[in-house]
Amino acid sequence: MNITTSLLSTAIIAGSVLLTACGGDSDNASNPNLENNNGLDYIFKVEVTNLTYAQPLSPPALVLHNDSYTLFAEGTTASIALEELAESGSNSTLLQEAQSYNSVFHTLSGDSIILPGSSQAFTLSLEADFDHDLGGNLGDELDTLKLSLITMLVNTNDGFTGEKNIDLSSLEVNQYQTYNGPVWDSGTEENSESSDSIPGPAANGEGFNASRENDVNKVVFHSGVVSMDDGLASSSLTQAHRFNQPASRIKITRVQ
Amino acid sequence: MKFKTLALSSAIAVTSFSSAAQELEITVSNLTHGIYFTPLLIAAHDENTFAFHAGTEASTELATQAEGGNPVPLKTVLDQANANTLAKPVAAEAAAGTIPELAEGNPGFLAPGASTSLELSTNDENNLLSLTAMLLPTNDGFVGLDSWQIPTTAGTYSINLNAYDAGTEANDEIVNGGGALGIAGIPGCPGGLCGTGGTGVTTTESNTKVHIHRNTLGDNDDEGGVSDLANSAHRWLNPVARITITVK
């Protein structure tokens, strides 16, 4: 069970933020977990594993939010921020935008590519005594707390994986939940697989382009890549870049 | 009191797990169109043991099963860790001499669309369930379940299983009988439909960790091309299997 030994690159990023104070110390007195932790009430460890053979994953975007925020929804148009991440791998616009919403508690960015077969871990700390103008209390906020996490498959036109709206409220200390991350297509760039359109190391082509010509302009499950080895002569991808569902695994452990 | 309210709701929302001995009825269904499963290895084990983890290198024993279909070495390792294990269909056990020989013509494979059932009794502490079986014809593909937490609540649970690549052999897609550890090639093609004379899809395996199989490539040339596999017969989409577990 010791996945941590396999972590190629472990980014421990303590979220400095989060969630407002709940009542007084008396609320915490009955919970021994809360007595010796310097006021840190909830800590989640989020591990992301790249399950593909040869698709590096861009630095993930992690968004902690409530029910009012939607990173994306299948069958609907991708935001420009999602389009940018799905086409170029850059999460900066998406995270900046998310931070501007009242429905978003916190964001995190991965600091590097996750290579095939590798994992990265992130730590999300929710401080009960941190004075934050959320207007509720930690318990109420946690009841609505959702994690959305996405990352691009960089040797695709606009494919991304992760999971959205993960409910963190039901986890008890030392419990974990795992999710298989499917591959979506943002529907914002034709899957030409051409060398000028794939930003990853397979081609080093263009990333974000605002045009949505020749694509369906809605988020759907990815149909996979064809590759030059399977008859698409104009593809810059080889048989090695093919993938199947799922492309990522997300393991969330409540450590405190 | 707000924390107590939260704790109560959490207790309701989360299925409880314990370490008590259990009786399980297990059915495994091959959901693929044209891929065979070699003898299944099913194990209930504790959290200090595992059959495989995606993102970590395969053990020699897992590689032995994934490249050649033989579950016995991995079963032995798990048995030594006090896991409760079964290998079924039982071709490998027959080969190992622990049960009578199988009738002629029964290779012990789980065919596409077929199901098999078994019962497993678990000891205390063995509250995680894993499954492995090689996919044929592939180089080192296997269907896998890794450390599923066995619920203590009686009921029937179904899980879809995906196809993994052990990361221990290049996916050359050459059917040459090569099933031994470290020997290139695919050991066999149950169900037929494979060609000959392929030049080989690749000679390298750049991802040496267990990962999701990228699928076979195949081609439509029975007497040449790059692959001995048929692109119309030997591909799949995940999931490739369903396991249904009844906790008594």
Tens of pLDDT, residue by residue over A134-145, are 444 566 667 788
CB contacts of A244 in chain B (<8 Å) are: 162-163, 212-215, 236-238
Interface residue A255 vs chain B (CB under 8 A): no
Of residues A6, A54, A170, nearest to B10 (C-beta):
A170
Interface residue A246 vs chain B (CB under 8 A): yes
**Which pLDDT band holds residue A18 (cuts at 50, 70, 90)?**
very low
Contact check, Cβ <8 Å, A169/B9: yes
Interface residue A230 vs chain B (CB under 8 A): yes
* CATH at B148: 2.60.40.2130
Ranges A140-154, B93-107, B226-240: which has the least confidence: B93-107
**Which pLDDT band holds residue A169 (cuts at 50, 70, 90)?**
confident
Mean pLDDT of chain A: 83
- The ipTM of this complex is 0.85
Contact check, Cβ <8 Å, A3/B55: yes
- B42 inside domain: yes
Tokens 């007595």 belong to A35
pLDDT at A2 over 50: no
- B5 inside domain: no
Of residues B55, B201, B238, nearest to A49 (C-beta):
B55
In this prediction, residues A85-111 reach a mean pLDDT of 95
B230: helix, strand or coil: strand
Distances (CA, A) of B135 to A196, B70, B112, B186: 37, 12, 11, 10
pLDDT in tens, A179-208: 999 999 999 999 999 999 999 999 999 999
What pLDDT does B57 receive?
98
Domain topology for A8-254:
Immunoglobulin-like (2.60.40)
Alpha helices in chain B (DSSP H): 2-13, 60-68, 72-80, 91-96
Contact check, Cβ <8 Å, A51/B201: no
Contact check, Cβ <8 Å, B3/A6: no
**Which pLDDT band holds residue A40 (cuts at 50, 70, 90)?**
low
**Which pLDDT band holds residue A13 (cuts at 50, 70, 90)?**
very low
What pLDDT does B191 receive?
85
Q: At B246, which helix (H) or strand (E)?
A: strand B241-247
Interface residue A17 vs chain B (CB under 8 A): no
pLDDT at A229 over 80: yes
- Extract the tokens encoding B74: 């991995």
Interface residue A140 vs chain B (CB under 8 A): yes
Pairing, β A40-50 against β B84-88: unpaired
CB contacts of B56 in chain A (<8 Å) are: 3, 5-6
Chain B's closest residue to A178, CA to CA, is B148
CB contacts of A116 in chain B (<8 Å) are: 206-207, 209, 211
pLDDT at A37 over 60: no
Put simply, the chain A residues between 51 and 110 with a CB less than 8 A from any chain B CB are: 51-54
Q: Distance between CA atoms of A181 and A250, rounded to whole angstroms?
A: 7
pLDDT at A4 over 70: no
Chain B's closest residue to A27, CA to CA, is B1
What pLDDT does B93 receive?
53
Chain B's closest residue to A5, CA to CA, is B56
pLDDT in tens, B123-136: 999 999 999 999 99
**Which pLDDT band holds residue B23 (cuts at 50, 70, 90)?**
very high
Range of the domain at B78: 22-170+206-216+236-247
Contact check, Cβ <8 Å, A243/B214: yes
Of residues A1, A53, A118, nearest to B165 (C-beta):
A53
DSSP secondary structure of B98-147 = SSPPPPTT----B-TT-EEEEEEEE-TT--EEEEEEEEET-SSEEEEEEE
- Whether B24 and B44 have beta carbons less than 8 Å apart is answered as yes
In this prediction, residues B224-247 reach a mean pLDDT of 97
Of residues B3, B54, B231, nearest to A28 (C-beta):
B3
pLDDT at A23 over 90: no
Distances (CA, A) of B198 to B178, B194, B201, B229: 15, 10, 8, 9
In this prediction, residues B41-52 reach a mean pLDDT of 97
Report how many domains make up chain B.
Answer: 1
The domain spans of chain A are 8-254
CB contacts of A175 in chain B (<8 Å) are: 14
Ranges A194-203, B113-122, B197-206: which has the least confidence: B113-122
Mean pLDDT of chain B: 88
Nearest residue to B146 (alpha-carbon basis) of A253, A160, A2: A2
Mutate to test the interface with B, among A19, A53, A118, A129 (most CBs of B within 10 A): A53
**List of residues 6+ apart from A26 with CB closer than 8 A:** none
Region of A8 please: left (phi>0), alpha (psi -120 to 50) or beta.
alpha
Max CA distance (Å), chain A: 69
Chain A's closest residue to B208, CA to CA, is A117
What pLDDT does B149 receive?
94
pLDDT at A92 over 70: yes
pLDDT at A12 over 70: no
pLDDT at A156 over 80: yes
pLDDT at B110 over 90: no
Chain A's closest residue to B17, CA to CA, is A175
What pLDDT does A143 receive?
78
Minimum distance, in Å, between the CA of residue B163 and any CA atom of chain A:
9
Instruction: Indicate whether this model's pTM tops 0.95.
Output: no
